[in-house]
Structure 1
Amino acid sequence: MRPAAKLSAPKSSTAKPRRRAAEAPAPKPYHHGDLRRVLIDAALQLVGESGAEAVSVREAARRAGVSPGAPFRHFS
């Protein structure tokens, strides 16, 4: 026989609903390859999905699976 489930207290009506993050493909881990090319491909993918205004260094880095500062070491 399964134990009875515990009932939680009702949430207050003042609690803010959580915002859902935009669903983007999971970042692919970067493993000592051509990060410059991976970042350019990520930027081109962003342009194709949402236009040039959607391109950001942070988002390209996230998609490449690297820190937001890593791209600055690969471009002058």
Structure 2
Amino acid sequence: MNGVDTLDTSIWAGYIVRPKGDMRLYTCRVYETLQEASAAAQERADSRHRLYEVRVTCDTSQRIIKTFEPRKSK
């Protein structure tokens, strides 16, 4: 925590998974590897039937790495 009671993520290098276009602030898990984050994003996209993005946490702009679409049901 820094002086204004916000979490300083500049020291963390990792990935987060969010719904596409969702810019709200909320608690989320930081994944250490892109593979782990990608698997979680695909699982969420499939179960919630919407697009999910993997973003970098160490970049202040929350740069998007990959977007996952729900897979089609057979």
TM bracket (short chain): 0.3 to 0.5
TM-score by length of 2: 0.33
Q: Of Structure 1 and Structure 2, which has the larger fraction of its residues in strand?
A: 2
Select the structure that is richer in helix.
1
Max Rg structure: 1
